[in-house]
Amino acid sequence: MNSDTRPDNDDSFAAAAAKDPDFFVVGPPRTGTSLLTVVLNARPDIAIAQDTSVFSEFKNAAVTFEHIQQNKYDGLVHPLISFNQQSTAMIKSLRLNFSSERHMLLMGLYFSGLLKFHARDTFVDDPRKDRGTGIRYLQGIDFTKIYERLARDEVPVREIFNYIIHRIITKAGLKGSFIGEKTPSHALLSIFLADIYENAKFINIIRNPITFIGSRRQRLDTTIERHCYYYNYNIEQMLDNPERAIFVRYEDLLSDADKQCRRIHKFLGLREAELDGSLDAGVYPKYVGSKVDPDRDRKNLEFTSEQEREEIKSRLAHIYEKFYPELLSG
């Protein structure tokens, strides 16, 4: 379904909907997905939509829909929570049309979720990005056009996903024709995304669990055990297939961004290219900055004690053995 060019005008719903993402940037929140996205977006032929929540909000809508349908609000587990083979097959074959009341309800819940997700930074200041970024994203999505299309035709749900991603990219001012998507919560949906988009590749970013937890606990005060569980659960959901996925260590990105960029470009099948000049932080000017700072991660060590670091290494020894063997003895 992929084409060589990305449509730029608002009237080309069909062309935008037909262009699947070429890759996904995947990683648990606080692992450096935003920095990696900005670094990759520095290349003019790459365009990555940041923090779209396109897929996680659809999952939330599907779960709510099932609760309403069965008149149960007691924690009912819907197969879409895990996006197993059955639910993936259902979504791949799902063709939406507003002649169906069920489809109208599902999409109403979905669009409401997207509106809530993207509008909240109008009221709650985010120290990482400019206030109002979400509203600008919403201004780029022509929901009326989607509704008109659903009222007239049967539309595969994947085309709705694609259209929204493309409109966010366009509103962000990105021009590249090689399309990516990044939302940290989508790390938990990696297998689902790999099934829906059979040709897409995955750039998995990981981080030393000690500095990851040091960063995360500044926003979430919980036990080391729970932080470790969260990190491990995310890593377990990420696609681990050398043909379709590549792992990038956050620390390697900081120490030699050019090398990691060339490695990723080669993996994606693009001509290898170095970073050129300063970075355009896009929607994260307060958070990412205009350059890759090798020292930006050191302060996060201050938020874990020596005893806690040993506990983290013990609880996540398998992750250290696979990705950070040199740190096990340090």
278-313 pLDDT, tens digit per residue, is 666 665 655 565 566 666 777 888 889 999 999 999
**216 found inside a domain:** yes
Reported as a single tens digit per residue, the pLDDT across 110-140 is 999 999 988 887 776 665 556 667 888 888 8
pLDDT in tens, 145-186: 999 999 999 999 999 999 999 999 998 889 899 999 999 989
In-domain check, residue 6: no
pLDDT at 159: 95
Domain that holds residue 169: 13-327
Total domains in the chain come to 1
- 275 belongs to a structural domain: yes
- In contact, 150 and 107? CB cutoff 8 Å: yes
Distance from C-alpha of 246 to C-alpha of 206, rounded to nearest angstrom: 11
258 found inside a domain? yes
Q: What is the dihedral of CA 261, 266, 269, 274, to 10 degrees?
A: 40
Q: Identify whether 4 is part of a domain.
A: no
Could you give the CA distance from residue 247 to residue 268 in angstroms, rounded to a whole number? 13
Q: Packing angle between helix 157-171 and helix 133-140, nearest 10 degrees?
A: 120
Taking the model in full, what pTM does it have? 0.89
Rounded distance, CA 79 to CA 164, Å?
24
Q: How far apart are CA 112 and CA 122, in angstroms?
A: 16
Q: Rg of the Cα trace of the chain?
A: 20
Helices within the chain (DSSP H only) = 13-18, 33-41, 54-70, 85-93, 101-119, 133-140, 143-152, 157-171, 190-196, 209-216, 224-237, 250-255, 257-268, 306-315, 317-323
Residue 295 located in a structural domain: yes
Specify the pairing of strand 95-96 against strand 155-156.
antiparallel
Residue 105: CATH number of its domain: 3.40.50.300
61 part of a folded domain: yes
Query: Is position 3 within any domain?
Result: no
